[in-house]
Structure 1
Amino acid sequence: MTTMFFQAGTSPVHRLNPTTKLVLALAVTTTAFAVPVVWAPLVLLLVVLVPAVLVAGVQLPYARLLLLFSAPVVLVIFALQGLFFPEGTTVLAEFGWAKVTSEGLLFATQTSLRLVVMLGSFLFLLLTTHPGVLMSAMVERGMSPNTSYVISATLQIVPAFRARAQNVLRAQQARGLDTTGLRRRVRALLPLVGPLLLGSLADLEERAVAMEARAFGSTARRTSLVEVADSSAQRWARLLMGAVAVAAVVVNVLGVTR
């Protein structure tokens, strides 16, 4: 299982039980989408995620990866919603048939902040948690190995594809593929797609065989070589974070139905 994003460390954040960090990521994401206030996601990012990242000491890779993944999404959202928001009435500027409205910009800002917080939450989890330890911790909490594997593998989809794409690109370059310049880089995308998809399908088959060999479908109680530390304080913290997320959703639903 790839650990491309994981940054090893001995900080208090690294020593937390992985399920605590998973619940934190889920709670922050849920709250960011549930609270209707536009700037609420930014507050969650600055008050919750940034201090945790600083304590973990992974601020440089965190900032780089968050910018890398969120910048294209934010640009697309502002281009579409800022210019073509169907419910916009307050026109700020016109470009032929496209109109920039304050409602569209406000909606784009809220949507972008929510997506940035979601990306930031799970990047924090990936940077501070080894995927194998995360899977062991979830199994210890009573989750089935199959479900634990699906969650852990899902969190690793992006780094796995990124690593495979880099390997395919290096192989193509070794065979004489020229990737200098923007136009050649765009043209080089087509030779990447085929090997990337075929390699991913082959990887899925290998993982399926490995899971069958390890009797993932067995209902017998399993033991683990990895003992993941936990504490009553973390268990209470997970319950509190879950309660806050549920409360945010309930308040949002009640506010919408009134």
Structure 2
Amino acid sequence: MSSTLYVDRASPLHRLNPVTKLVALLCLIVVVFAIPQWWAVLGMVVLVIVPAAVVSGCAGRLGRFGGQLLLPLLAVLVIVQGLTFPGGRTVLWERGPLALTTEGLIFAATIGSRLVCLVLASMLLVLTTHPGDLMSALTQSGLSPKFSYIVSSTLQLIPSFRDRAAGILLAQQARGLAVPRNPLRRLRVLMPLLGPLVLGLFTDVEERSTAMEARGFGSTAKRTVLVPVRDTTAQRAARWAMPALALLVVIAAFVGRLS
């Protein structure tokens, strides 16, 4: 089982320097929270993230993973905010203490669109960036190897958690554990598996800490990258231009709210 969601492709997005993609993601986060209109955020998803996913060849996997993660969250968000939003005045439907309001739906759309944009953009980064390349690129950029390792290991956290959970489940099924189809019964059966899963994660942390010490992560000596990550002048310029553009968007949004 793979401990990363990375999909090996020969696309232009895969060939970009990982630091360029990371800077683009951080700037996107800033812009998304600066824009108050939910339709503008969804427009960024349609015009930026979807074409990038298609070009990278990861659109199908991104849609599948994104749907599994986002659909339950969006459903809960619409139900809770749409029915219980405290500032709602325009009532569309009402029954007892619950009232579906236009203001609640707009608030849910705002939060939901930001959530969709951030989750899909983050997952696209994970799907198109190998953690080892990201760590090497961050180290080449002058960042501390410890910080580079933290960023790289964060990208592997979810797939590592998923692989360990699948391994524990398969081991228990080999010992005769029956997993029912009923969701409530299935949850009750799987709850005891959380203990081995959490203990296994602590074991992983200790093993990785030992491996880092053995590789001299605490050393202050200058390191030589074994496999240099390709970078270009255009990408270096883009990494300066994107934060400047994000700052302009933030200023424009702030001025727009004041006027």
Q: What TM bracket, shorter-length normalisation?
A: over 0.9
Is the Cα contact below 8 Å between 1:28 and 1:44 reproduced in 2? no
Let me know the Cα RMSD of the aligned residues.
1.5
SS in 2 for 1:39: helix
**Runs (5+) with no aligned partner, structure 1:** none
Tell me the equivalent position of 1:126.
126
Is the Cα contact below 8 Å between 1:88 and 1:104 reproduced in 2? yes
Q: Post-superposition shift, 1:251?
A: 3.2
Query: When the two structures are aligned, how many residues end up with a matched partner?
Result: 257
Tell me if 1:41 matches 2:41.
yes
Q: Matches of 2:73 and 2:253 in 1, distance apart?
A: 25
Tell me the equivalent position of 2:186.
185
Q: Post-superposition shift, 1:189?
A: 2.5
**% identical equivalent positions:** 47
Tell me the equivalent position of 1:231.
232
Q: Post-superposition shift, 1:149?
A: 1.0
Q: Post-superposition shift, 1:255?
A: 4.5
SS in 1 for 2:9: coil
Is the Cα contact below 8 Å between 2:38 and 2:114 reproduced in 1? no
SS in 2 for 1:93: strand
Residues 125-134 or 27-36, more deviating: 27-36
Tell me the equivalent position of 2:79.
79
SS in 2 for 1:188: helix
After superposition, the C-alpha distances for 1:183-209 in whole angstroms (9 at most, x for unaligned) are 331112212210111111111111111
Q: Matches of 1:245 and 1:179 in 2, distance apart?
A: 49
Is the Cα contact below 8 Å between 2:4 and 2:155 reproduced in 1? no
1:1-258 pair list within 5 angstroms: 3-182=3-182, 183-256=184-257
Is the Cα contact below 8 Å between 2:7 and 2:127 reproduced in 1? yes
Q: Post-superposition shift, 1:86?
A: 0.9
Q: Matches of 1:193 and 1:178 in 2, distance apart?
A: 16
Taking structure 2 as the reference length, the TM-score comes to: 0.94
**Runs (5+) with no aligned partner, structure 2:** none
After superposition, the C-alpha distances for 1:141-171 in whole angstroms (9 at most, x for unaligned) are 1111111111111222221211111111111
> Aligned letter for 1:117?
C
Q: Matches of 2:123 and 2:162 in 1, distance apart?
A: 15
Is the Cα contact below 8 Å between 1:3 and 1:130 reproduced in 2? no
CA, structure 1 residues 144+176, in 2 after alignment: closer, same or farther (shift >3 Å)? same
